[in-house]
Structure 1
Amino acid sequence: MLLKIQNTNKFLSGNIKITGSKSETNRLLLLQALLKGLTIENLSNSDDGTLMQKALESHSETIDIHHAGTAMRFLTAYFSIQKDRKTILTGSKRMQERPIGILVDALRSLGAQIEYLKNEGYPPLSIQGTTLTKSEVTLNANVSSQYISALMLIGATLPNGLTILLEGKITSVPYINMTLQLLHQVGIAATFQGQSIKIEPAQLKDVKKNITVESDWSSASYYYSLVALMHRYKEEQPTQITISSYKQDSLQGDAVLAEIYTQLGVVSRFEKNKLILEVDRSKELPELLELDLSNSPDIAQTIAVSCLGLGVGCTLTGLHTLKIKETDRLEALHTEITKLGGTIEVTDKSLHLAKMTTPLLQNCTIATYHDHRMAMAFAPLGICVPICIEDAGVVSKSYPYFWEDLKTLGFTQEIIG
């Protein structure tokens, strides 16, 4: 579906309800499968969350998780401990191009029985569930936090628990801490000190616990971008977007948005469980925004596009994990920003966007590369120019009602072709 969008209003006002964090949802769903009596409220309505839930409830031998990368990592660990059960874990063509060898090697070192069915180091996998007898594993610290979290989530089921030793500089610390805090919430003893994570063994019994998932901060990023782009209008028109449900002491690394976007003229206020975003037009925008996003790489696309629309240069580093997402997000950003008239350079772990001094090109068609975040990151530019989003339905991976919510803020939408 090719969708043409635009918003010519000089103000934004609305209330948006965003469902639970995809990251928290998938961690809690796996814990729910291991612990009787755990109930979860405000689950993510994303494709990834739905696929994770269906996979955990399925009794089929073959489990297809399509594009759901988090589910692939978490379920590889989960099915490896399902004694006497054989599982074929597969996914989309792109999923079969995303490496998983680091996690498989770690699980094998603990005693897991996992084989590759096509290419070494990549899905699909044949997993014969068994009891993992070892209790210590070593990983490079700069790998995807999903590998580390996958091991943490099953650690308590091992006879002697699990110690994960991390070598080198640790990246994506907030996601490790999120997993740690969720383990604590369900009564599993775990520590993360220095380069070592230790999960104590536990009798996984009826926990009689209810947990409400906080709304997704990654999805909130697009509203931060929208409000920031209203800085272009110097008229004192009211701009206020209220989104729920959020809290200041969030477990999600992407909550750093509130701090980052103050530099781009967005004021964040918390009232009970609501997050209120307003534009500060008196804020002088920087010539160059420099950020290390190694702890929150999923918001890099949104920030780069915000800067493009505001005419602010940016240098974003710590982006090495973006190469192996739904697409190579760095190369995708390079291609699509160039279409709009921007000047951008990327490496395998960073991007540099030059300050935009000319108007954005109008009616450009943005390719999404089967990547939900490409579609949603570029959508706010509809405030600046009419823009077309290719394969707009891809947003269902994390935020199915994104386009409907944009309509409530005054975006006109036209399906082309």
Structure 2
Amino acid sequence: MNVILQKSSIANQSSIVITGSKSESNRLLLLQALFPEINIKNLSNSDDTKVMQYALQTSEDHIDIHHAGTAMRFLTAYFATQEHRKVVLTGSSRMKERPIKILVEALNTLGADIAYLESEDCPPLKINGQQLIKDKVTLNANVSSQYISALLLVAPKLTNGLELTLEGEITSVPYINMTLDLLHQIGVKTEFEANVISVSPKTTKADSQTLIVESDWSSASYFYSILALSPVGTQITLSSYKQNSLQGDSALITIYKDFGVETRFNKNAIVLKKTAENVTPKMYNLNNSPDIAQTIAVTCLGLGIECQLSGLHTLKIKETDRLEALKIEIEKLGGQIDITENSLHLFSNKSLNCDVSIDTYNDHRMAMAFAPLALKISIQINEANVVSKSFPSFWEDLKTLGFNIS
């Protein structure tokens, strides 16, 4: 499905309800599988979370998680610890290109039995569940935080817990802290000192409780972009959000203040308001929140301003090579951009090419990041239904705001 967005303007005041965080939902689903006494509310309605739910509930021995990278990492660790369970874990053609060697080697070091079925270092995986006795493992700290979180989530069920040593500068610390916080909430003891994370085994039941998933901050990023590209005075209310969020992408509050977008908390909602124009060049290190890089780059493109983003090394192994995809699509629009292995430099531009078709590369964030440009130009988004991976109602929500979509 392709969508065409005619040049649009939006209502001065609008309200949108955003689904639960995919990151929190998938972590809690894994913990619920280990500790069934946990209840969860406001789960994400994303494809990734539905796939995760299905995989944890099915008795099948061949599980296809399609494009869901988080599910692939978390489920690899989960099934590795499930004694007497044999599973083949596979995914889309892109998933079969996404490396998982670091996690597989760490689990095998702990005593797991995981083998590759096709190309070395990538899914599909043959997993023979084991009781894992060993409790010490070391990882490079600059790898995807999902490898680290996958190990931490299963750690309470390991015979002797886990002592995980991280070597070098740690990537995406907020996502690691999110995992540790959720473990604390169910009564698991952890320590994070210097570069060593320790998780104690939990032989008793978890504290029986209902955990409410906060709405997804990554999804909120597209509305911050919309505000930044809108006239001063425009306002959007998003729910449900917490001031003490566990999500790294809540850095949006600070970042988009630089674009003249103010954030106010009102009970369980955030009220975003464009209060000023700010078209000065932007520079951010997104080491802790790389998922909002595409949104920020496209916001700057729409405003015609320069930006430099660093800390992006994990974008090369996402649903697509996001840096390369950004470069191709931004250049279609008439922008000039340089990329390296871990950064991008977007140069200021005076105008955008109209009626361009944006390719999405099976990547939900490509589709959603470019959509706000319809406030400046007419644009087509190809394979637009890819948004269901994290935000199924995205196009309907844009129509609610006043976007002209066909």
**TM-score normalised by L of structure 2:** 0.99
CA deviation vs aligned residue, 1:348-392 (integer Å, no higher than 9, x gap): 1100000112x2111100000000000000000000000000000
Aligned position for 2:354: 362
Q: Residue 248 of structure 1: CA displacement?
A: 1.2
Q: CA–CA distance in 2 between the matches of 1:204 and 1:316?
A: 45
Q: Are the aligned partners of 2:187 and 2:206 in contact in 1 as well (CA < 8 Å)?
A: no
1:65 aligns with 2:65: yes
Q: 1:384 aligns with which of 369, 376, 382?
A: 376
CA deviation vs aligned residue, 1:317-363 (integer Å, no higher than 9, x gap): 00000000000000000000000010000011100000112x21111
1:189 aligns with 2:189: yes
Q: CA–CA distance in 2 between the matches of 1:119 and 1:89?
A: 14
Identity %, equivalent residues: 60
Deviates more, 1:9-18 or 1:297-306: 9-18
Aligned position for 2:92: 92
Q: Residue 13 of structure 1: CA displacement?
A: 2.3
Q: Are the aligned partners of 2:190 and 2:197 in contact in 1 as well (CA < 8 Å)?
A: yes
Q: 2:319 aligns with which of 306, 326, 337?
A: 326
1:27–1:204 CA distance, 2 compared to 1 (3 A): farther
Q: Are the aligned partners of 1:40 and 1:212 in contact in 2 as well (CA < 8 Å)?
A: yes
Aligned position for 1:209: 209
Aligned position for 2:274: 279
Aligned position for 1:165: 165
Q: CA–CA distance in 2 between the matches of 1:320 and 1:372?
A: 19
**What secondary structure, in the 3-state scheme, does the structure 2 residue paired with 1:264 have?**
coil
**What secondary structure, in the 3-state scheme, does the structure 2 residue paired with 1:156 have?**
helix
Q: Residue 94 of structure 1: CA displacement?
A: 0.3
Q: Are the aligned partners of 1:35 and 1:207 in contact in 2 as well (CA < 8 Å)?
A: no
1:152–1:360 CA distance, 2 compared to 1 (3 A): same
Q: Are the aligned partners of 1:157 and 1:204 in contact in 2 as well (CA < 8 Å)?
A: no
Q: Are the aligned partners of 1:395 and 1:402 in contact in 2 as well (CA < 8 Å)?
A: yes
Q: Are the aligned partners of 2:11 and 2:402 in contact in 1 as well (CA < 8 Å)?
A: no
| Residue correspondence of structure 1 range 215-234 to structure 2 within 5 A | 215-230=215-230, 233=231
**What secondary structure, in the 3-state scheme, does the structure 1 residue paired with 2:264 have?**
strand
Q: CA–CA distance in 1 between the matches of 2:175 and 2:193?
A: 15
Aligned position for 1:351: 344
Q: 1:289 aligns with which of 276, 282, 285?
A: 282
Aligned length: 406
Aligned position for 2:137: 137
Q: Are the aligned partners of 1:290 and 1:314 in contact in 2 as well (CA < 8 Å)?
A: yes
Q: Residue 205 of structure 1: CA displacement?
A: 1.9
Q: Are the aligned partners of 1:12 and 1:227 in contact in 2 as well (CA < 8 Å)?
A: no
1:336 aligns with 2:329: yes
Q: Residue 36 of structure 1: CA displacement?
A: 2.0
1:251 aligns with 2:246: yes
Q: Are the aligned partners of 2:337 and 2:347 in contact in 1 as well (CA < 8 Å)?
A: yes
Q: CA–CA distance in 2 between the matches of 1:111 and 1:22?
A: 29
**What secondary structure, in the 3-state scheme, does the structure 2 residue paired with 1:403 have?**
helix
Q: CA–CA distance in 2 between the matches of 1:204 and 1:3?
A: 51
1:12–1:336 CA distance, 2 compared to 1 (3 A): farther
Q: Residue 9 of structure 1: CA displacement?
A: 2.3
Q: CA–CA distance in 1 between the matches of 2:167 and 2:290?
A: 21
1:400 aligns with 2:392: yes
Q: 2:401 aligns with which of 380, 404, 409?
A: 409
Q: Are the aligned partners of 1:35 and 1:204 in contact in 2 as well (CA < 8 Å)?
A: no
Q: Residue 10 of structure 1: CA displacement?
A: 6.2
Q: Residue 208 of structure 1: CA displacement?
A: 1.4
Q: CA–CA distance in 2 between the matches of 1:363 and 1:204?
A: 60
Amino acid of the structure 2 residue aligned with 1:410: G
Q: CA–CA distance in 2 between the matches of 1:36 and 1:28?
A: 11
Amino acid of the structure 2 residue aligned with 1:210: T
Aligned alpha-carbon RMSD (Å): 1.0
Q: CA–CA distance in 1 between the matches of 2:48 and 2:10?
A: 35
Amino acid of the structure 1 residue aligned with 2:247: Q
Aligned position for 1:306: 299
Q: Residue 285 of structure 1: CA displacement?
A: 2.5
**What secondary structure, in the 3-state scheme, does the structure 1 residue paired with 2:229 have?**
helix
Q: Residue 190 of structure 1: CA displacement?
A: 0.8
Amino acid of the structure 2 residue aligned with 1:91: G
Q: CA–CA distance in 1 between the matches of 2:29 and 2:130?
A: 21
Q: Residue 207 of structure 1: CA displacement?
A: 3.1
